[in-house]
């Protein structure tokens, strides 16, 4: 598969005017500091890791972007969006309850824990949650579809694209500060932005 932005590495800008000291400090933490487990129990951590691997597989990476550790850190530190859905419990309770319910779904449907499911069955289970086809009674006080879409999948994807490795593959040049982006019109790009490969629909 041809990369959309061949040869582009956002970190090549490390010592350029595109990054300042604040940006470099944030990036260095994301690159070098993987938070330890402090919120999830060991089984919850393993379960979330298995779910992450199905929601956002990274087969082409020798070192996958770490996602579970950053979700754990967010929950441990109590970082929130400032709102929650009326059909969802508070954040920490939602995560613990949602993971427990996914494990219960796996055992109810297949008599196996989620971590032991073949990939196809794990994908089918998660797709059922996305389609609002959860098993009645296994999700007390929580909407399964809302948890899967607006909490679980949204957070997984958010932390993935907060990592510089993901920035390179989508051609993102990093924060607008300090350099800024000037050419904002359709089919325009600044000279320091990534150049997309020619797209061939065939």
- Separation of alpha carbons 122 and 50, rounded Å: 9
The answer to whether residues 9 and 195 touch, using CB atoms and an 8 Å cutoff, is no
Give how far Cα 102 sits from Cα of 85, 92, 93, 96, 133, Å: 19, 16, 14, 10, 12
Structure tokens at 183: 């050419």
Residue 186 counted as domain residue: no
Residues 175-184 have pLDDT tens digits of: 888 888 888 8
Residues 31-40 have pLDDT tens digits of: 999 999 999 9
Residue 3 counted as domain residue: no
Residue 4 counted as domain residue: no
Residue 120 counted as domain residue: yes
pLDDT band at 6 (very low <50, low <70, confident <90, very high): confident
Domain that holds residue 145: 10-170
Q: What is the pLDDT of residue 98?
A: 98
Residue 182 counted as domain residue: no
- Separation of alpha carbons 53 and 73, rounded Å: 19
Could you tell me the end-to-end alpha-carbon distance of the chain, in angstroms, rounded to an integer?
A: 13
Residue 72 counted as domain residue: yes
Give the number of domains in the chain: 1
Q: What is the pLDDT of residue 4?
A: 86
- Separation of alpha carbons 150 and 126, rounded Å: 14
Residues 46-92 have pLDDT tens digits of: 999 999 999 999 998 889 999 999 999 999 999 998 888 888 999 99
pLDDT band at 1 (very low <50, low <70, confident <90, very high): low
Q: What is the pLDDT of residue 199?
A: 56
Sign of CA dihedral 19, 25, 31, 37: negative
Question: Which carries the bigger pLDDT value, residue 123 or residue 200?
Answer: 123
> How much is the average pLDDT of 92-102?
97
pTM: 0.91
């Amino acid at each position: 598969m041809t990369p959309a932005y061949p040869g582009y590495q956002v970190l090549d800008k490390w010592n350029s005017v595109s990054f300042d000291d604040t940006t470099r400090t944030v990036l260095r933490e994301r690159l070098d500091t993987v938070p330890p487990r402090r919120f999830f129990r060991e089984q919850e951590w393993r379960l979330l890791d298995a779910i992450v691997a199905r929601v956002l597989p990274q087969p082409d990476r020798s070192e996958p972007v770490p996602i579970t550790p950053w979700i754990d850190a967010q929950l441990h530190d109590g970082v929130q969006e400032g709102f929650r859905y009326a059909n969802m419990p508070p954040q920490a309770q939602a995560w613990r309850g949602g993971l427990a319910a996914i494990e219960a779904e796996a055992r109810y449907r297949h008599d196996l824990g989620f971590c032991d499911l073949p990939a196809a069955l794990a994908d089918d289970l998660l797709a059922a949650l996305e389609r609002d086809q959860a098993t009645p009674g296994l999700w007390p006080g929580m909407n399964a579809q809302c948890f899967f879409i607006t909490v679980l999948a949204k957070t997984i994807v958010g932390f993935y694209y907060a990592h510089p490795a993901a920035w390179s593959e989508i051609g993102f040049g990093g924060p607008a500060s300090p350099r800024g982006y000037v050419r904002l019109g359709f089919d325009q790009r600044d000279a320091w932005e990534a150049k997309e490969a020619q797209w061939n629909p065939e």
